Amino acid sequence: MLSYRFRKEYYYCSSCDEQFTTDELDGSVEPEWYCPKCKENLDIFALDKDEKLVVQRKYPEDLVVGDRIYVVGYGYHGIHKLMNKNKIKKGYALSLLEHGRLEVAKDQWLNIHEGTWNPSNTSIDLNI
Protein backbone atom coordinates (compact mmCIF):
# COMPACT_ATOMS: atom_id res chain seq x y z
CA MET A 1 0.00 0.00 0.00
CA LEU A 2 1.47 3.32 -1.01
CA SER A 3 -1.33 5.81 -0.27
CA TYR A 4 -1.14 5.02 3.44
CA ARG A 5 -2.63 7.28 6.11
CA PHE A 6 -1.00 7.14 9.50
CA ARG A 7 -2.89 6.59 12.76
CA LYS A 8 -2.41 10.24 13.76
CA GLU A 9 -1.35 13.04 11.43
CA TYR A 10 -0.50 16.69 12.11
CA TYR A 11 -0.39 19.02 9.09
CA TYR A 12 2.18 21.81 9.16
CA CYS A 13 3.36 24.39 6.63
CA SER A 14 6.99 25.33 7.25
CA SER A 15 6.72 28.30 4.87
CA CYS A 16 3.81 29.87 6.78
CA ASP A 17 4.93 28.42 10.15
CA GLU A 18 1.34 27.34 10.68
CA GLN A 19 -0.35 24.12 11.74
CA PHE A 20 -3.68 23.02 10.30
CA THR A 21 -6.36 20.68 11.55
CA THR A 22 -8.18 18.31 9.24
CA ASP A 23 -11.25 20.53 9.60
CA GLU A 24 -9.29 23.64 8.59
CA LEU A 25 -8.08 21.87 5.49
CA ASP A 26 -11.73 21.14 4.73
CA GLY A 27 -11.03 18.67 1.99
CA SER A 28 -8.55 20.99 0.30
CA VAL A 29 -5.70 18.80 1.55
CA GLU A 30 -6.67 16.10 -0.90
CA PRO A 31 -5.92 15.67 -3.70
CA GLU A 32 -3.24 18.36 -3.65
CA TRP A 33 -1.53 18.07 -0.22
CA TYR A 34 -0.57 21.75 -0.34
CA CYS A 35 -0.94 24.51 2.23
CA PRO A 36 -4.30 26.25 1.70
CA LYS A 37 -2.59 29.63 2.16
CA CYS A 38 0.73 29.54 0.27
CA LYS A 39 0.31 26.34 -1.80
CA GLU A 40 3.66 24.86 -0.65
CA ASN A 41 3.80 21.14 0.24
CA LEU A 42 2.55 20.40 3.74
CA ASP A 43 4.81 18.56 6.16
CA ILE A 44 2.87 15.76 7.78
CA PHE A 45 4.05 14.83 11.26
CA ALA A 46 2.86 11.25 11.63
CA LEU A 47 2.47 8.92 14.58
CA ASP A 48 1.92 5.26 13.80
CA LYS A 49 2.72 2.42 16.17
CA ASP A 50 6.32 3.12 17.26
CA GLU A 51 7.12 5.33 14.28
CA LYS A 52 7.34 9.10 14.35
CA LEU A 53 7.86 10.26 10.77
CA VAL A 54 7.77 13.48 8.81
CA VAL A 55 6.43 12.94 5.30
CA GLN A 56 5.17 14.94 2.37
CA ARG A 57 2.64 13.58 -0.07
CA LYS A 58 3.27 13.67 -3.80
CA TYR A 59 1.73 12.29 -6.94
CA PRO A 60 3.94 10.20 -9.26
CA GLU A 61 4.39 13.00 -11.80
CA ASP A 62 5.94 15.18 -9.04
CA LEU A 63 8.43 12.55 -7.85
CA VAL A 64 12.12 13.08 -8.51
CA VAL A 65 14.89 10.51 -8.53
CA GLY A 66 16.26 10.33 -4.99
CA ASP A 67 12.89 10.77 -3.25
CA ARG A 68 12.52 8.28 -0.41
CA ILE A 69 9.14 6.55 -0.67
CA TYR A 70 7.49 5.03 2.40
CA VAL A 71 6.10 1.62 1.36
CA VAL A 72 3.62 -0.24 3.59
CA GLY A 73 2.42 -3.75 2.85
CA TYR A 74 3.68 -6.05 0.14
CA GLY A 75 4.78 -8.33 2.99
CA TYR A 76 6.80 -5.62 4.77
CA HIS A 77 7.23 -1.90 5.02
CA GLY A 78 10.12 0.46 4.73
CA ILE A 79 11.64 3.47 3.07
CA HIS A 80 13.02 3.00 -0.43
CA LYS A 81 14.93 5.42 -2.63
CA LEU A 82 13.44 6.17 -6.05
CA MET A 83 16.01 5.19 -8.67
CA ASN A 84 13.97 5.66 -11.84
CA LYS A 85 10.50 6.70 -12.98
CA ASN A 86 8.86 5.91 -16.32
CA LYS A 87 5.47 6.92 -17.64
CA ILE A 88 3.40 3.91 -18.69
CA LYS A 89 -0.12 3.49 -20.04
CA LYS A 90 -1.75 3.06 -16.60
CA GLY A 91 0.37 5.65 -14.77
CA TYR A 92 4.00 5.29 -13.74
CA ALA A 93 6.52 2.51 -13.18
CA LEU A 94 8.77 3.27 -10.23
CA SER A 95 12.09 1.52 -9.62
CA LEU A 96 12.85 1.47 -5.90
CA LEU A 97 16.21 0.54 -4.40
CA GLU A 98 16.05 -2.75 -2.47
CA HIS A 99 12.40 -3.18 -3.43
CA GLY A 100 12.11 -3.44 -7.19
CA ARG A 101 9.48 -2.13 -9.56
CA LEU A 102 6.07 -0.81 -8.58
CA GLU A 103 3.36 0.41 -10.91
CA VAL A 104 1.18 3.24 -9.62
CA ALA A 105 -1.78 5.12 -11.06
CA LYS A 106 -1.20 8.77 -11.94
CA ASP A 107 -3.72 9.87 -9.28
CA GLN A 108 -2.22 7.76 -6.46
CA TRP A 109 -0.34 9.85 -3.90
CA LEU A 110 2.69 8.53 -2.08
CA ASN A 111 4.31 9.28 1.28
CA ILE A 112 7.77 10.78 0.81
CA HIS A 113 10.00 10.35 3.86
CA GLU A 114 11.49 13.65 5.03
CA GLY A 115 12.77 12.58 8.45
CA THR A 116 11.73 11.73 11.99
CA TRP A 117 10.56 13.82 14.93
CA ASN A 118 10.27 13.74 18.71
CA PRO A 119 6.75 14.54 20.00
CA SER A 120 8.14 15.70 23.37
CA ASN A 121 10.45 18.22 21.70
CA THR A 122 8.36 19.91 19.03
CA SER A 123 6.31 23.02 18.40
CA ILE A 124 3.53 20.89 16.89
CA ASP A 125 0.34 21.10 18.97
CA LEU A 126 -0.52 17.48 19.72
CA ASN A 127 -3.92 18.41 21.17
CA ILE A 128 -5.61 19.26 17.90
Contact of 15 with 38, CB cutoff 8 Å: yes
Q: Tens of pLDDT along 22-35? A: 777 766 666 578 89
Q: Identify whether 124 is part of a domain.
A: no
Total of domains in the chain: 1
Q: CA geometry: angle at 16 spanning 13 and 22, to 5°?
A: 40
Domain that holds residue 88: 8-116
**pLDDT for 122 beyond 70:** yes
Q: Identify whether 54 is part of a domain.
A: yes
How would you list the strands of the sheet with 51-58, edge to edge?
Answer: 18-20, 8-13, 43-48, 51-58, 110-116, 68-71, 78-88, 91-96, 100-105
Q: Tens of pLDDT along 52-110? A: 999 999 999 999 999 999 988 756 678 999 999 999 999 999 999 988 899 999 999 99
The residue among 5 and 89 whose pLDDT is bigger is 89
Q: Identify whether 40 is part of a domain.
A: yes
Q: Identify whether 123 is part of a domain.
A: no
Cα separation of 78 and 75, whole Å?
Answer: 10
Cα separation of 128 and 18, whole Å?
Answer: 13
Hey, which residues does 79 pair with through a beta bridge?
Answer: 70
